[in-house]
Chains A and B, each alone.
Chain A
Amino acid sequence: MPSLRELQLQFASQIYDRNLPDDLPTLILSKGIAAGNRLGIYRNNTLTGLSKALAAAYPVIERLVGTDFFRHMAHEYIRRHPSRSGDLADYGIAFPEFLADFEPCRALVYLPDVARLEQAFNHAYRAAGHPPLATGELAQVAPERYSSLHFHMHPSARLLHSTYPIAQIWEFNQADCTDEQQIDINSGGCQLLVYRPQLAVKIVPLETGEYALLSALATGSDFGDACEQALNAQENANVAAIFQRHVAQHTLVSFTC
């Protein structure tokens, strides 16, 4: 008689690897219905559940490739990336990289970046909130020390860039979008901030200098270095205006000396 552990490992292998371990069927009563058919119900439950979880996380990707192809792709993803959590919201983290690597999708070059945008959206949707930056405290810092301050972004915030117009693709593939316009995927890239200042997730297009400044702050540069990087990226960047805008819009919510 197999141990509980052996039985569970064999069962999981049967669902994920589709190889029927020799003694598993003998451990299942048939009562007129073959063990394989009974196990098939469970395999279908898992495949359907995980495919639906993936579709719920990446609705724009599903819309772009169609439901049938998406299901096919989801099954392949499940085979390569088993679920590692009892919370289905954790599922699909490697989907953008999978799409970049998935041969049948090679022609759809913008898909991985659209998936990254959806992932950033999902992250922002569930992330912790944060009160706005304490401007009173900032006012107490001597202006000559500003350049050495470290500013921190809202916990929901992520920065993304793409060589394709992914914000527009996202927008056009929302259920409530009535715009029938065509998108030229070679019409230029974008740099985006995705965050949730209050309850609604926002996708904000950024200028080159603005993106450079926020990226530098997000990766730990002090304010002085970040301004320099912004000016390197975009000569005419107005760093004071960028800073004020992102304090006012709750992108930058705290600072440390």
Chain B
Amino acid sequence: MSQPVPATKSSAAAPKQPKRYGRLYVSGANCTRQGSRNHPGACRDWLAQRTPRRLATNPSSHSLAGIHPENFFADGGKPLQLLEQVRALYPLSMHGVGLSLGSTDPLSKTHLSRLKHLIDRFQPGLVSEHLSWGSAGDRYLNDLLPLPYTAEALDYMVERVLQVQDYLGRQILIENVSSYLEFSISDIPEWEFFAALARRAGCGLLLDINNVYVNACNHGFTAADFLAQVPAEFVQEIHLAGFSINPVEGGEILIDTHSRPVCEQVWQLYQHTIDAIGPRPTLIEWDQDLPELNVLLAEAQRAEHILERAHALAA
């Protein structure tokens, strides 16, 4: 891996293809996966808590600010003004949650055009969405729902990712999601589906290691096996997060709540992944039951140490 690419104010004009950031971490600056915070009222709260002023006291030159584009689908006002300030300090990673990429409904033209407008204005380094669907028959469930892993679904996802990349005029990254059920008609392992999508659609991958761990526990496979099958050359960003354990009749299900510290096993998987594929921009997602800022920063620092070591080794 080459030298880190410092993100500075001069990087305002991002290239068409996402830049490979040498080493980046982010935390705190991310807002939410989805939910009530994806709303003006909550946007206000978040922006009040995580002001650019606070970030500006230590704008690490390697950092990247993760945002959900949906939180900035406004025509004007304070959120966009604050995003301008954040953008002046950090390159952005726009992580969409509402496109319903895997849905068999037509893509929402409104959603896509709002997204494109935001991308054109803020020139993010990375743009990502999920390997999931969230609406059917014009009813949105506003969630990241798993697909059946079949040849039909794979062909369909490839087509949809191509459509979106074509519309946006740029590559996007696709993230693997946590799931709480498996479809009996699935006949392709999730990791094969994930890798094949990148190869066929020419998208990048956003590898969420917590989601791999959650699914491994929920569905009974070995997380390391999944990670070993993900083609390193497509992985452009990594997510880490904490989960909750939900007892249900017959057992327990891990739920990706982004409300807890990253668990020890996930840290180990992260370390192994970085050792195997080299450093990647990493985001710690924590958007419910927010802890004190120093707790969040300590998590980010742990990720940064792992990345720093990987860079030192590469040098």
Contact = CB atoms under 8 A, between A and B. Distances in A.
Interface of A: 1-5, 7-9, 11-13, 15-16, 26-35, 37-42, 45-46, 48-50, 52-53, 55-57, 59, 82-89, 91, 122, 125-129, 155-156, 196, 199
A84 B105 CA distance: 12
B136 A12 contact: yes
Given A8-B103, A9-B137, A56 B37 contact: yes
Given A57-B39, A128-B75, A29 B184 contact: yes
Contacts of A83: 139-142
Contacts of A8: 103-104, 133, 136
A11 B73 contact: no
Interface of B: 34-42, 44, 70, 73-79, 81, 97-100, 103-104, 108, 110-111, 114, 133-143, 145, 147-148, 150, 152-153, 156, 180-185, 219-220, 246, 248-251, 253, 255
Given A8-B136, A29-B181, A122 B143 contact: no
12 contacts: A16-B141, A26-B184, A31-B182, A31-B219, A34-B249, A35-B181, A41-B253, A86-B98, A86-B100, A86-B111, A122-B40, A127-B75
B180 A128 contact: no
Minimum-distance CB pairs A-B, first 3: A86-B98, A52-B36, A126-B74
B39 A32 contact: no
A4 B78 contact: no
A82 B137 CA distance: 11
A11 B76 contact: no
B121 to A, nearest CB: 13
Contacts of B150: 4
B136 A127 contact: no
Contacts of B104: 4-5, 8
A50 B143 CA distance: 10
A56 B78 CA distance: 17
Contacts of B99: 86
A82 B105 CA distance: 15
B184 A27 contact: yes
B224 to A, nearest CB: 20
A33 B253 contact: yes
Given A4-B156, A41-B253, A45-B143, A87 B185 contact: no
A213 B140 CA distance: 41
A30 B249 CA distance: 11
A153 to B, nearest CB: 15
Contacts of A32: 250-251
B35 A12 contact: no
Give the dominant DSSP class at A's interface.
helix
B41 A59 contact: yes
B77 A199 contact: yes
A46 B73 contact: no
B43 to A, nearest CB: 8
A30 B75 CA distance: 46
B173 to A, nearest CB: 18
A16 B153 CA distance: 23
A33 B35 contact: no
B135 A12 contact: yes
B229 to A, nearest CB: 21
A112 B218 CA distance: 44
B249 A46 contact: no
Contacts of B97: 86
Given A46-B141, A85-B98, A126 B76 contact: yes
Contacts of A34: 249-250
A89 B76 contact: no
A176 B273 CA distance: 47
Contact of A85 (B76, B78, B140, B182): B140
Given A27-B185, A42-B180, A125-B74, 20 more contacts: A5-B136, A7-B183, A11-B136, A11-B145, A16-B141, A31-B182, A31-B220, A34-B250, A37-B248, A38-B180, A42-B141, A42-B143, A49-B142, A56-B37, A57-B41, A83-B142, A87-B38, A87-B73, A88-B36, A88-B142
Contacts of B35: 48-49, 52-53, 88
Contacts of B114: 87
Contacts of A42: 141, 143, 145, 180-181
B90 to A, nearest CB: 22
A50 B142 contact: yes
Contacts of B148: 4, 7, 27
A40 B246 CA distance: 12
B38 to A, nearest CB: 4
Contacts of A126: 40, 73-77, 79
Given A46-B141, A125-B40, A126-B40, A88 B34 contact: yes
B137 A86 contact: no
A80 B275 CA distance: 51
B250 A82 contact: no
B143 A49 contact: yes
